[in-house]
């Protein structure tokens, strides 16, 4: 597996500390963020932290762990309702999400989700979802026939923009096209309202931009959204950029368990500082 500072700090510092303060977990829900369920090794990612694929074998272990440990799997609207009640989250809950709309969700992930009767939300970049097979980042994506079949079987879908761009660098017209057009395309193909949005790439720590995105999502009829900000979701979070827990093939069960219990939340702070530093550096160029 190689040396991982984030794993070491999580399992031997943050996780034991969380057990000392179990009350902290009563107000949060972990939203798991998966991408491809495949053996694809992300050749461009040099460190386990940056890999986005989860092997079918590891994904199976994750789902089995959730099932055997009596996690109740929520969809996103149930999560928002639960957190808005502002009552302690006493049961074990989790949310399962998938970005990018890869076909291996249909072939590898869904059979396991169906076995355990787990809910899930898949976020679609609509430019790569077609009548014929289209690829994104070298991986085949779902077809509309498969999306409709999955919808009939209980899978939720949300927008992941049209072309999966870094929204923060686009102009307002381009941003609004990505957000509105993707929603319209999915609604036209599924015949139901699309109320959730997943922000592609790193979510910028820019308060003006965040407020603009939230306001525009609300204007378009979205009710909640998720981001790549690391952490469990808290009742005081912005429900249009909820935090998630990144998961990949390198998450063995001890690390997966720790992430579910909030012990990986500490990673939000170095992630936040890195993005703030990056924004500051760009302004100084």
pLDDT at residue 22, as a whole number: 61
pLDDT at position 88: 75
Q: The tokens of 95 are what?
A: 């949310």
Which parts of the chain sit beneath pLDDT 70?
1-3, 20-26, 41-46, 277-285
Backbone angles phi, psi at 267, to 5 degrees: -65, -15
Q: Please tell us whether the domain made up of 5-277 is placed in CATH 2.40.10.10.
A: no
What are the strands, taking DSSP E only, across 134-236?
Answer: 135-136, 139-140, 156-159, 196-198, 224-230, 233-234
Q: What is the pLDDT of residue 272?
A: 83
With left for phi above 0 and alpha for psi between -120 and 50, is residue 138 left, alpha or beta? left
In this structure, are residues 108 and 95 in contact, taking their beta carbons and an 8 Å threshold? Answer: no
Q: What is the pLDDT of residues 154-178, one digit of tens each?
A: 999 999 999 999 999 999 999 999 9
Nearest to 52 by CA among 34, 73, 75, 26: 34
What are the beta bridge partners of residue 230?
244
3-state secondary structure of 171: coil
Q: Is the pTM of this model over 0.75?
A: yes
pLDDT value, residue 277: 65
For the chain, domain boundaries: 5-277
Do 66 and 32 meet the contact criterion of CB atoms below 8 Å apart? no
| pLDDT score at 42 | 66
pLDDT in tens, 128-156: 999 999 999 889 999 999 999 999 999 99
Q: Which helix (H) or strand (E) holds 242?
A: strand 242-246
pLDDT for res 25: 62
First to last CA, the chain: 38
Residue length, the chain? Answer: 285
CB-hemisphere CA count at 13 Å for 88? Answer: 7
């Amino acid at each position: 597996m190689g040396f991982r500072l984030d794993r070491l700090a999580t399992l031997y510092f943050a996780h034991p500390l969380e057990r000392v303060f179990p009350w902290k977990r009563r107000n949060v829900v972990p939203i798991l963020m998966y991408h491809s369920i495949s053996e694809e090794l992300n050749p461009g990612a040099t460190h386990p932290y940056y890999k986005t694929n989860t092997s079918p074998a590891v994904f199976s272990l994750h789902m089995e762990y959730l099932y055997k440990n009596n996690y109740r799997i929520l969809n996103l609207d149930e999560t928002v309702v639960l957190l808005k009640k502002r009552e302690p989250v006493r049961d074990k809950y989790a949310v399962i999400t998938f970005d990018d709309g890869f076909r291996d969700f249909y072939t590898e992930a869904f059979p396991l989700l169906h076995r355990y009767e787990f809910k899930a939300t898949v976020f679609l970049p609509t430019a790569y979802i077609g009548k014929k097979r289209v690829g994104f980042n070298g991986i085949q994506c779902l077809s509309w026939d498969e999306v409709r079949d999955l919808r009939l079987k209980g899978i939720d879908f949300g927008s992941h923009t049209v072309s999966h761009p870094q929204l923060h660098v686009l102009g307002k017209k381009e941003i609004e096209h990505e957000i509105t057009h993707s929603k319209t395309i999915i609604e036209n193909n599924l015949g139901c309202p699309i109320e959730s949005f997943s922000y592609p790439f790193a979510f910028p720590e820019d308060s003006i931009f965040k407020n603009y995105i939230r306001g525009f999502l609300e204007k378009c009829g979205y009710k909640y959204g998720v981001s790549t900000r690391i952490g469990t979701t808290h009742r005081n979070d912005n429900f249009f950029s909820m935090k998630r827990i990144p998961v990949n093939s390198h998450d063995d069960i001890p690390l997966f368990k720790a992430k579910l219990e909030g012990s990986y939340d500490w990673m939000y702070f170095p992630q936040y500082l890195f993005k703030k530093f990056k924004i500051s550096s760009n302004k100084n160029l």
